[in-house]
Amino acid sequence: MNEQWPSLTPFQTGLRGRCPRCGRGHLFNGFLTLKPKCEACGLDYSFADPADGPAFFVMCFACVPSFLLGVWIEVAFQPAWWVHFLTTLPFMALTCIPPLRPIKGLLVASQYFYKAEEGRLVRVASEGKET
């Protein structure tokens, strides 16, 4: 059975948490746990390993500005600790947690789309042939 799958970009599938091959199945069980395979087309998700990529991008683009907001509030107004609890903490949670899932989906879909895989060494035998 040789089915033709539509050519879907990582942005079309990953940001929505859909299967990178068919676009119909779901990538996740729960919030960040990858499913073993697509329920629609059967694609095995074992190829996917975004590792710490989503957390790194969120730290760079969300956590740092959130931290700087807290520092600015402290330096400019010197409020009581509970003001930080009511302003900085919710802002940090809202800018750091929600982007994790779409970014992880985007990285998984990109691995599939660009056929990324673990690097391998190519060894050349003494006769000049690759092994």
Domain housing 66: 10-110
The single-letter code of the amino acid at 111 is: Q
Q: How many domains does the chain have?
A: 1
pLDDT-based confidence at residue 96 (cuts at 50, 70, 90): very high
Average pLDDT of every residue of the chain: 90
| Residue 77 neighbours by CB under 8 Å, 6+ apart | 83
**129 belongs to a structural domain:** no
Residues 67, 76 contacting (CB under 8 angstroms): no
**3 belongs to a structural domain:** no
Q: How many helices (H) and strands (E) does the chain have?
A: 6, 2
**93 belongs to a structural domain:** yes
**115 belongs to a structural domain:** no
* pLDDT per residue as tens digits for the range 13-71: 999 999 999 999 999 999 999 999 999 999 999 999 899 999 999 999 988 889 999 99
Q: Higher-confidence residue: 34 or 124?
A: 34
Looking at residue 127, its pLDDT comes to: 60
Mean pLDDT, range 81-109, rounded to an integer: 94
